[in-house]
Structure 1
Amino acid sequence: PSMERLRFVSSGTEATMAAIRVARGSTGRDMIIKIEGGFHGAHDSVLVKAGSGATTLGIPDSRGVPRDATKNTIQVPYNDPAALEEVLERFSGRIACLIMEPVLGNIGPILPDKGYLQTARRLTEENDVLLIFDEVITGFRLSLGGAQELFGIKPDLTTLGKIIGGGFPIGVFGGRADLMDQVAPGGAIYQAGTYNGSPASLAAGLATLDVMEKEDTINKLNRSGESMRLALKDMVEDLGQDWSVVGIASMFKVFFGPEPHNYAQALRCDRQGYFEFFRRMLDSGIFLTPSQYETDFISAAHNQDVIETTLEAFRSCLKS
């Protein structure tokens, strides 16, 4: 509902790149804030090394990215409203937007603390800074209205990606009409692409939405996710380990360490131990994400037999 106007692109990367351009173009400001560990695609201004201090300007996280490309990108830790407030005050009048994953999916999932997203919305409004929700992972997964519907937050701009294309390349950026109306040809903020609104991708997207909207699909997925997490928590408790099971809706992850609430805490988990566990699961016929810092998903294609088989593999591989 927050997307009064929208435009189709070909990927989530294009969507976030365009949304940031709209934020900068409409405010006349160059600086942006991103969350440490948040992933917003492969364009230069958001490829910033995570783990720096709350007010440290970014340095490139990939070879080939000029320092000048990230000099206007500031990072703050997730679940740290005080750090966000400090940055907003320090760079008052110079920040175009805060771009964030409402639930950190690229290093998690890591969930928002109670009231954190509401505080981020309040602080951005008070400081006349646009809020961009990157819902490439959470859009149509946490609910049909994404994380913003689930948590009751109305961002100024939203980006969507792979989940709405049924496997075909697609992305969407959109938001307030007064912002989107400034995109060319209606305004002076340029955005274009040969495959924007590709008929094949849009047809796949419409078919995907048909599936998500029928027969209580999302609620069934979310119930499966909750059941999966409860079973995994029981296994971890039985083993007496300080591991944690984290997730929301159909997202889940076993962290080999205490539950992280930000990127720095996630880095303390046993990465090598997880990779060995991943290999054991793969040998058992279960393909999880190969990184400790990526979320796992349950799909509408996973029936109860698949979930039970997965849990049996978890039980065996966690124990070993």
Structure 2
Amino acid sequence: MIKRDRSNKILKENEQWIPGGVVSLNRKSDPNICFTRGHGSHVWDVDGNEYIDYQAGFAASFLGHNDADINAAVAQTIADQQILMGAGPTDLEGDFAKLFCDSVPNVDSIQITTTGSEATYHAIRIARAATKKDHIIVMQGGYNGWHSDVACNVISALDDIGPRVSPGEYPIDSISAGIPQRSKDLVHVVNFNDLDSVEYILKRHKVACILLEPILQNIGIVKPQPGYLEGLRSLADQHGFLLIFDEVKTGFRHSLGGYQSICGVVPDLSTFGKAVANGYPLGVIGGKKEYMDYFVHPDKRERVLIAGTFNAFPLTTAAAIATLKKLGSEEHKVYDHVERLGAKLEAGLNEIFSTYAIDFKVARQGSALCTYFMDHLPVDYHDILTHHDFNFDKKYRIKLIEAGIFNFPLPIKQGSISFAHTDADIDATLEATAMVMDKLMSDVKKSRVIKEEV
């Protein structure tokens, strides 16, 4: 059993001054682990335990922890005494914007925020300003940020949202108190991969936008069915609402051009974060010029406000520039490397799980993957709720952590391979997985024998 005495002591001490003991309660976990440093694909906790890391800062550290090239760019910016100018434009934000638009062909221009949540907030404001409509559609099980428009139906219990209905919508299950009812009345939740439910909402409300992850990566890896994203694009054009891709997780992890460059569907607006600066705090909203120009609309009554003292903070912007350059480098071939490792891990997991009498499916998109303990790949959140073995998933994750393989200890959260991962990391992960599965299945067999004897 891994000792976590110091981790637990730090949490307890923090709770005296911080509600919950951690500044983002999404980071609180069971077991509680206080990490003290990370390098490449490995992290260490305050109790001295080392792990191969697949959580990667909720998928943000795509190049790996403390990447030397990114750190060098940040260090140079500090040496140049570019910390916070406080007024006027900077060359760094301009250099990043040009590089970004060159990398993502569907984006004409961008604005820079500090977080992905801020980016989705601005995207919804633009949609409402451009369409003169107020209602929005979001996905069951998706996560698009913390603000009132989207803070709902994130890994909700079946009792809170009810059984699958189509066509139709689901009750709002807010993840926060303090959200006015009038805000909730403008938000409509449907299941992913369900065009009929989108049309159901469109017939009843004046919709400004649909905001969705093009792959649901908050609940593992749930991919769009053939024709689904194309269908949303068609409905947006037909009904006059904006299609917004939340690529905070998918963007730059799967392709330099975002997942939109893989699926071939062009959204009106997109939001990015996490991997864009390899874990440094930076978000992006970008898209078609006709919508982005609402930030500078000549009529102040039509203008959408964007402000923030720390938007395009020089250190994070330097990190983002260095990240995009490395991701696009022919020398490093980042995407080839992570795809090869992802395929190797997927094949190894399939081989291990297939030796046991257990339902499983490994879902993967490039460097991101999730093992579902069910007999088919899920198409939406209800599919997971009604078929996935959450209890076994939790035990599986905890046992892997004890074996030195860290993924977030919450069922159906995705695992993320970084550019820093090696073949040796994958081999060690598969070896630990085989050991864990052998122990878990042995425990299951013993439990069945005991039940039969009783």
Q: TM bucket by the smaller chain?
A: over 0.9
Answer with 202-211 or 49-58: which moved more. Answer: 49-58
Give TM-score, length-normalised by structure 1. Answer: 0.95
1:317 corresponds to which of 432, 436, 440:
436
4+ long deviations beyond 6 Å: none
Unaligned runs of 5+ in 1: none
Q: Cα RMSD (Å) of the superposition?
A: 1.5
On the 8 A contact 2:341/2:422 being kept in 1, the answer is: no
Alignment correspondent of 1:190: 305
2:194 corresponds to which of 80, 84, 95:
80
Render the CA deviation track for 1:129-187: whole Å, top value 9, x for unaligned. 10000000110111111110001010000000111112211000011101111114755
Give TM-score, length-normalised by structure 2. Answer: 0.68
C-alpha distance in structure 2 between counterparts of 1:234 and 1:82, whole Å = 38
Alignment correspondent of 2:337: 220
Residue type of the alignment partner of 2:269: L
Render the CA deviation track for 1:243-270: whole Å, top value 9, x for unaligned. 1111111111111223221011122322
On the 8 A contact 2:344/2:426 being kept in 1, the answer is: no
Determine helix, strand or coil for the equivalent of 2:112: strand
2:416 corresponds to which of 278, 286, 297:
297
Q: CA deviation at 1:124?
A: 1.6
Determine helix, strand or coil for the equivalent of 2:369: strand
C-alpha distance in structure 2 between counterparts of 1:219 and 1:84, whole Å = 36
Alignment of 1:264 with 2:368, yes or no, is no
C-alpha distance in structure 1 between counterparts of 2:297 and 2:110, whole Å = 14
C-alpha distance in structure 2 between counterparts of 1:211 and 1:313, whole Å = 31
1:150 corresponds to which of 257, 262, 268:
262
C-alpha distance in structure 1 between counterparts of 2:229 and 2:354, whole Å = 30
Written as runs of structure 1 = structure 2, the 5 A alignment for 1:50-89 is: 51=161, 53=165, 54-56=168-170, 58-89=172-203
Alignment correspondent of 2:143: 39
Alignment correspondent of 1:279: 398
1:238 corresponds to which of 355, 358, 361:
355
Written as runs of structure 1 = structure 2, the 5 A alignment for 1:76-225 is: 76-91=190-205, 94-184=206-296, 188-214=303-329, 215-225=332-342
Q: CA deviation at 1:25?
A: 1.2
Alignment correspondent of 2:449: none
C-alpha distance in structure 1 between counterparts of 2:342 and 2:182, whole Å = 42
Q: CA deviation at 1:79?
A: 1.0
Alignment correspondent of 1:24: 128
Residue type of the alignment partner of 1:280: K
Q: CA deviation at 1:240?
A: 2.8
C-alpha distance in structure 2 between counterparts of 1:56 and 1:303, whole Å = 43
Determine helix, strand or coil for the equivalent of 2:294: coil
Render the CA deviation track for 1:64-115: whole Å, top value 9, x for unaligned. 2222222100011011112122222332xx1000000000000011111122
Bigger radius of gyration among the two: 2
On the 8 A contact 1:226/1:248 being kept in 2, the answer is: no
C-alpha distance in structure 1 between counterparts of 2:422 and 2:264, whole Å = 30
Render the CA deviation track for 1:204-226: whole Å, top value 9, x for unaligned. 01111122122211121112112
C-alpha distance in structure 2 between counterparts of 1:28 and 1:277, whole Å = 49
Alignment correspondent of 2:98: none
C-alpha distance in structure 2 between counterparts of 1:220 and 1:196, whole Å = 32
C-alpha distance in structure 1 between counterparts of 2:147 and 2:432, whole Å = 38
C-alpha distance in structure 2 between counterparts of 1:302 and 1:59, whole Å = 38
Answer with 182-191 or 276-285: which moved more. Answer: 182-191
Determine helix, strand or coil for the equivalent of 1:178: helix
Residue type of the alignment partner of 1:89: K
C-alpha distance in structure 1 between counterparts of 2:281 and 2:124, whole Å = 20
1:11 corresponds to which of 93, 112, 115:
115
Unaligned runs of 5+ in 2: 1-104, 440-454
On the 8 A contact 1:104/1:110 being kept in 2, the answer is: yes
Q: CA deviation at 1:191?
A: 1.5
Q: CA deviation at 1:59?
A: 4.6
The alignment covers a number of residue pairs equal to 318
Residue type of the alignment partner of 1:303: T
Distance 1:277 1:9, change over 3 A: same
Alignment correspondent of 1:48: 152
